[in-house]
Chains A and B, each alone.
Chain A
């Protein structure tokens, strides 16, 4: 089998032609397509990363806001509880004070009433006792006893002079 130069040249030209056609119409568009897709994927990835970062930021913000809200809520709860306790304590103290004042007033009025009643009864009792004594003694002392009594009293008065 002889080597034919013309055929070799033809094959070379033919190969070059095929290479040119493949390069021109297949390889470059494919490469371009791949590059475009690569760029799109990269852009999408970047956008995705950006969204993820934003999501993370938002979650952080959300956590901060929630934490702050919780702290505020706890603080408000504590303040409200303290305020309520303080108010309740004040009310209890005020009620006790009022009760104490009323009790003192009632006790005083009761004591005054008792005293008044006691004085009234005492006066009546004294009057009754004196009247009874006057009645009994006046009737029981006769003239002889009376003279004897006066003698004794004169002696007593003379001693006390």
Chain B
């Protein structure tokens, strides 16, 4: 069983959740996935996904932090 934590700045629509779950099931076909959805306004916009020790962070907050580090 593999935990998938999805954090977004706003609530994801059902179609968005479905799209994401289908893609992740395809990628991790050997494991049973459990999805946890969470809303955090501090991300400003976008979302991040944590699965199998990997973090896919596409939030605006993360990009601003990257920008700040580059500055």
- Mark A residues whose CB is within 8 Å of B: 122, 125-127, 129-130, 133-134, 137-138, 141, 143, 146-147, 149-151, 153-154, 156-158, 160-161
In angstroms, Cα B59 to Cα A154, docked, is 11
Which chain B residue lies CB-closest to A132?
Answer: B64
Q: Is B68 at the interface (CB under 8 A from chain A)?
A: yes
Please determine whether B68 and A126 come into contact, CB atoms closer than 8 angstroms: yes
In angstroms, Cα B10 to Cα A124, docked, is 29
| Pick from B8, B10, B16, B67: contact of A133, CB under 8 Å | B67
> Apart from A126-B69, A156-B58, what are 9 other A-B pairs with CB-CB below 8 Å?
A137-B60, A138-B45, A146-B45, A150-B12, A151-B16, A153-B58, A157-B56, A158-B23, A161-B23
Minimum C-beta distance from B44 to chain A (A): 5
Which chain A residue lies CB-closest to B27?
Answer: A161
Please determine whether B10 and A143 come into contact, CB atoms closer than 8 angstroms: yes
Minimum C-beta distance from B31 to chain A (A): 14
- Mark B residues whose CB is within 8 Å of A: 8-10, 12-13, 16, 19-20, 23-24, 27, 44-47, 49, 56, 58, 60-61, 64-65, 67-69, 71
Please determine whether A122 and B71 come into contact, CB atoms closer than 8 angstroms: yes
In angstroms, Cα B71 to Cα A125, docked, is 9
Please determine whether A153 and B10 come into contact, CB atoms closer than 8 angstroms: no
In angstroms, Cα B27 to Cα A151, docked, is 19
Please determine whether A130 and B58 come into contact, CB atoms closer than 8 angstroms: no
- Chain A residues near B20 (CB-CB < 8 A): 154, 157-158
- Using known A-B contacts A150-B46, A151-B16, determine if residue A129 contacts B68 with beta carbons closer than 8 Å: yes
Please determine whether A137 and B45 come into contact, CB atoms closer than 8 angstroms: yes
In angstroms, Cα B47 to Cα A122, docked, is 28
| Pick from A134, A151, A153: contact of B44, CB under 8 Å | A134
- Chain B residues near A151 (CB-CB < 8 A): 16
Minimum C-beta distance from A152 to chain B (A): 9
- Chain A residues near B60 (CB-CB < 8 A): 137
- Using known A-B contacts A129-B71, A130-B65, A134-B44, determine if residue A154 contacts B24 with beta carbons closer than 8 Å: no
